[in-house]
Amino acid sequence: MDPVGSSEEDQRLDWATARAWSHLASKGLHAELSAHDRRTVLNEGSNEADIASLETMLGVLSRDVLSEAGVNKMLRTARDSIQTATGETLNPAAETVLSLRQLLLAGRAAAWSASEGREDPSLEQARALAREILDGDPSEIIETRDPLHISGEATPIEAPAPTQVSAQRPEFSFDPDIVAVVERINAERDRDRIKEDTRKQLASQARLFIKATGITDVREITQGHLKFYKSVLQRMPTSYGKSAKDTDRTLDELLARAENLPARQVGLSPRTINGHLDRFKLIFQFAKSENIKISDTVELGLLRVREEKRNRDKREAFILPELQQVFQHPIWTGCRAASRRHERGNIVKADGLYWGPILAGYSGARREEVLGLEPRDVVSVDGIPCYHIRNNMHRGVKTFSSERLVPIHEHLIELGFLRHVEEMRQRGATALFPELIPTNKSQSFGDKIYYNWAKALVLQLDGNPRELCFHSFRHYAIVHLKELPEVSDKQRRDLVGHSGGDVHDEQYDVATSMTVMSSVVARLPRLF
């Protein structure tokens, strides 16, 4: 199978790859091995290990062909070939994509079968298609003829010495498709520590850049494309990405939404734009590590936006009177209906929109840290009810120091938070607030409360002129605790998940006891 001679495992993988392409070409991309298929393979002399390799390869190849990166690569190759041959541009419809995919499967099946040197009549059509693609002349048919009969005695001819096959392996190459590069970045083992949100941002950014510029190949990105992309970010609504519908909207639709908004609601922040540029730096560095050529014209530093505020000024902190005013909203005092949360009534819906802000107000925790809790994260330590902020199936934590135990404020217990936790356990829910679980890759935990939470702030705070947000809870708790001499810096850091002041704090400090931490939480004033 392998002309240079490989290990048994390599031979098995080569066989599995050839057989998988043949299977997918004849039975479709979602085909699995039937009992009949398994018997056929076993009767041919294969074993269970071969079948396991075949099933694995079927999954790998079908996912690759169906992936966004795989489709982009296929279309790019077809577009380039057609434009070279005819000068016309391919704008494929859905039917064209299906036809191209069938050609791809047929060609791959024929190529791998030929490389094995085996005859397989079921691949006759695939071979013909492959010849058409390679030769460029579909009318040329190679006829099979009977061997020529020569009468009389044949003179033996000495066979020439066999040609030595080079043992040199082909040079490795990587798919330059932007989405494919991002997928490889996110799949790297040494990036396991990167939280899921960051991975989603990287993938979402790649899709937005392609939507804005039409460029899918990382090698084709120029400084001009990046400059235009920056201008798009500066014209987008500040709320971009908060709605799941943004993923499906065209660029024109996104920019049209911004035209009817006040100026302060248009344009992503300098920090966000610089974050996009930083992620491009990562993409380019990773591509270069794979020997993918990046344009020499790219200079990301020339595109950065000056951030006028200091770090501590970027997000405003609530003050207690503002919080007390916010919690007089019908979400917490009683609304008209579950679908009419901003109108006064007698219905209190104890969901994530209700509990999330209260949890943050009594801890300074980040939005996803509280809204992404699972029922099993609520525990009792030394007899004190608390919740464990840690990586779980729905979201990760921001840093190593972000993992922590947070005592539950007495007011939360009075409001019935522990009863809510138990109800979710009884239901077998995987999240404390299952209605907030993201439904697509562009969402993060908590995006689904954004609209109603932001509207509540506008209604309760006379338009919210200070642009307070969920993160303002965190600043409120930190500022309040800093003003209390009885609360040490370490106790405050342990509550909000900040790292120590130096390496010794990181390595040698022990966590503050739950008894002490409970007293720290109790010093946060009641919100309503």
- Confidence class for position 136, pLDDT limits 50, 70, 90: low
pLDDT single digits (tens) 5-27: 445 666 777 787 888 878 777 77
Distance CA 398, CA 403 (A): 8
* Tokens 């079908």 sit on residue: 62
Instruction: Note the pLDDT of residue 498.
Output: 83
Give me 113's structure tokens: 């079968």
* 525 C-beta neighbours (distance < 10 Å), count: 12
Largest CA distance in the chain: 113
Q: Which residue has the higher pLDDT, 79 or 176?
A: 176
Query: 3-class secondary structure for 120-149?
Result: CHHHHHHHHHHHHHHHCCCCCCCCCCCCCC
Residue-level pLDDT at 494:
93
| Residue found under tokens 């993923």 | 247
Lowest mean pLDDT among 5-9, 193-197, 250-254, 515-519: 5-9
- CA 13 – CA 46 distance, rounded (Å): 13
**pTM (global) more than 0.85:** no
**How far does Cα 232 stand from its chain's mean position?**
22
Place 4 in a pLDDT band, splitting at 50, 70 and 90.
very low
Give per-residue burial for 389-398: e unless 16+ CB within 10 Å, then b. beebebbbbb
Percent of the chain clearing pLDDT 70 (strictly above): 74
239-245: long-range pairs with CB below 8 Å, 24+: 239/265, 239/450, 240/268, 241/204, 241/442, 241/447, 242/447, 242/450, 242/451, 243/447, 243/450, 243/451, 244/439, 244/440, 244/442, 244/443, 244/447
Instruction: Convert the pLDDT of each residue in 242-293 to its tens digit.
Output: 777 788 888 888 888 888 888 888 999 898 999 999 999 999 999 999 999 9
Ordered domains of the chain (ranges, CATH): 8-135 (no CATH), 178-303 (no CATH), 320-522 (1.10.443)
3-class SS of residue 406: strand
Q: What mean pLDDT is reported for the chain?
A: 81
- Comparing 205-214, 332-341, 390-399, which segment has the lowest mean pLDDT? 390-399
Confidence check: pLDDT of 101 > 80: no
DSSP result, 353-402: HHHHHHHHHTT---HHHHHT--GGGEEEETTEEEEEE---SS---SSGGG
Note whether 33 and 51 are within 8 A (CB): yes
Q: Cβ(487)–Cβ(348) under 8 Å?
A: no
